Amino acid sequence: MKQFLIGIDCGSTMVKAAIFDTLGKEYAVASRKVEHIYPHPGWTENDMKALWRSVCEVLREVIDKSEIDPKEVACVTCTGHGNGLYLIADDGAPARNGIVSSDNRARKYIEQWTAEDVLSRILPKTMQNLWAAQPNALLRWLIDNEPETMRNVKWLFMVKDFVRYRLTGEAYMELSDMSGTSLIDVGRARYDDEVLETWRLLDWKRVMPPLKRSADICGTITPGAARLTGLAEGTPVAGGMFDIDACGLAVGMTDETRFCMVAGTWGNNQFISKKPVVDRDMFITSRYSIDGYYLMLEGSATSASNLEWFVSQFCESDRKLLEIDGMSESIYEHCSRLVAQTKPTDTNIVFLPFLYGNPVDPDAKACLFGLDGRHTRSHVIRAVYEGIVFGHRWHVERLRRFCNEMKTIRLTGGAANSDIWAQMFADVLQIPVEIPAGTELGCFGAAICGTVAVGIYPSYETACETMVKISRRFEPDPTLADIYDKKYLRYKSLLKMLSPVWRKLS
């Protein structure tokens, strides 16, 4: 009997499910939008019951689309956004709305802990910087502001652990996700009383489920879940992983030489190592799904979402013309064609991709610098492409302080759809860029985990070698290294020079 794997990806804005065979072929995908709730300024929540209904719907849809027998599904695995908070009450129902990882209600606790310099003492264990949507801060806020909610809490979950709980009826937390929460000793992979007492949460250790690894079997599909999802009762469910781990597995990041870069709504840049980076400057250090490895990540909202904004504001007439003319070319392919008509030496326009935030200066804003009357829209779009690549290079240079073995970059996200843009990444970074096949990386990474969990493959390395396919490769042009180095220096110089201006105008 042929075997299939189902991966579920619970992002902050979308829930997806996809079915793959053991060679990595994708058979069906389904998705639903996750509606956010904003009860107060700075709060971002979702309806956990609606989230679960969406999971059931996408599972039923992919099974129907694929026309497979549910009994052929060897394993179900879930991934999801990190941090936030999903609480279950004593009766097994949600204790309140889920809290999403963009929530900011607990910022005052972060300010207090920062003022007290708690990281100087606790960072060697947690390996995490502090931010407002981590469960430690959210729990403290709820204890102080919603005591009636907390009196009835039985379990604390991350989003994918909540979904797994509804599928299996068994309560576990999973290590890769938990290692980003500041609730555990990451090196020892366990809950730690000193860590919990730092946040005054030791009394709440009782609501934190046992820890499991990504490829541990954490239960099977219950009769009730089978009726709701279309899955077969008794199907194994794996522990799953943090979504950044799923992306890493989906591109075949199995050793220190392969670097994973996501150039999409958010720009992620990550590598793995057997030695963790414990440094206040590191955005995330977490346990990777592959035992013995840690994942280090730098990222910000300085990626392809900036191009989406530019297109929506300044290229709508082009989009309409393409539709009227019946062109098969998309607006983004059109933009890449315009960029291809220019050369790196044609212009020194600098675009700072800070429309949705930045990692440099809290007052910094996006801008186009260096325009004059000879410039065309093609030059401006090239500057947008280059500025986004330079934003990634800024993060890569920070990571290179700790990573000396980077031989290839596996690029995903919207930028990976453009050959012109992918080549630009290779030329700016002077590292070969490879584009993995497929688009649903979260679901695919989860499915890869499932093959290891049920023993289809003996290791992640073997699973990735078999299932991950590379569709295209771009070699760096050494003749462009000096040109792009000078343009990047101009980019960094502009950041430095504008800092006092931003401060004055803020």
- Return the pLDDT at 174: 98
User: Rounded to whole angstroms, how far apart are CA atoms 160 and 168?
Assistant: 12
Q: How confident is the model at residue 328 (pLDDT cuts 50, 70, 90)?
A: confident
DSSP 7-71: EEEE-SSEEEEEEEETT--EEEEEEEEPPPB-SSTT--EE-HHHHHHHHHHHHHHHHHHHT--GG
The 3-state secondary structure of 111-127 reads HHHHHCCCHHHHHHHHC
Q: Is the pLDDT of residue 321 over 80?
A: no
Q: Is the pLDDT of residue 326 over 80?
A: no
Looking at the chain, the whole-number percentage of residues with pLDDT higher than 70 is 100
Name residue 357's beta-bridge partners.
Answer: 355
Average pLDDT over residues 355-366: 89
Of 452, 449, 457, residue with least CA distance to 7: 449
User: Rounded to whole angstroms, how far apart are CA atoms 450 and 457?
Assistant: 9
Of 287, 224, 232, residue with least CA distance to 76: 232
User: Rounded to whole angstroms, how far apart are CA atoms 179 and 12?
Assistant: 19
Looking at CATH, the fold of the domain delimited by 4-248 is given as Nucleotidyltransferase; domain 5 (3.30.420)
- Return the pLDDT at 360: 86
Q: How confident is the model at residue 266 (pLDDT cuts 50, 70, 90)?
A: confident
- Return the pLDDT at 176: 97
Q: How confident is the model at residue 404 (pLDDT cuts 50, 70, 90)?
A: confident
Q: How confident is the model at residue 319 (pLDDT cuts 50, 70, 90)?
A: confident
The pLDDT mean for the chain works out to 95
User: Rounded to whole angstroms, how far apart are CA atoms 87 and 157?
Assistant: 6
Give residue for tokens 């220190």.
Answer: 256
Looking at the chain, the whole-number percentage of residues with pLDDT higher than 90 is 88
User: Rounded to whole angstroms, how far apart are CA atoms 188 and 280?
Assistant: 20
Which 3 state secondary structure label does DSSP give 97? coil
Q: Is the pLDDT of residue 261 over 80?
A: yes
pTM of the model: 0.93
Burial class of residue 187, CB neighbours in 10 A (0-12, 13-18, 19+): middle
- Measured in whole angstroms, the distance separating CA 139 from the mean position of its chain's CA atoms is 23
pLDDT in tens, 21-66: 999 999 999 999 999 999 999 999 999 999 999 999 999 999 999 9
Cβ contact 65:28 at 8 Å: yes
pLDDT in tens, 97-109: 999 998 999 999 9
C-alpha angle 280-85-217 in degrees, rounded to nearest 5: 95
User: Rounded to whole angstroms, how far apart are CA atoms 310 and 271?
Assistant: 30
Which amino acid, residue 427?
D
pLDDT in tens, 343-353: 999 999 999 99
- Return the pLDDT at 316: 80
Q: What are all long-range contacts of 305-312, with beta carbons under 8 Å and residues at least 24 apart? A: 305/264, 305/265, 305/266, 305/355, 305/356, 306/351, 306/353, 306/355, 306/356, 306/366, 306/384, 306/387, 306/388, 307/332, 307/335, 307/384, 307/385, 307/388, 307/414, 308/414, 309/355, 310/381, 310/384, 311/335
Spell out the domain ranges in the chain: 4-248, 305-398+482-505
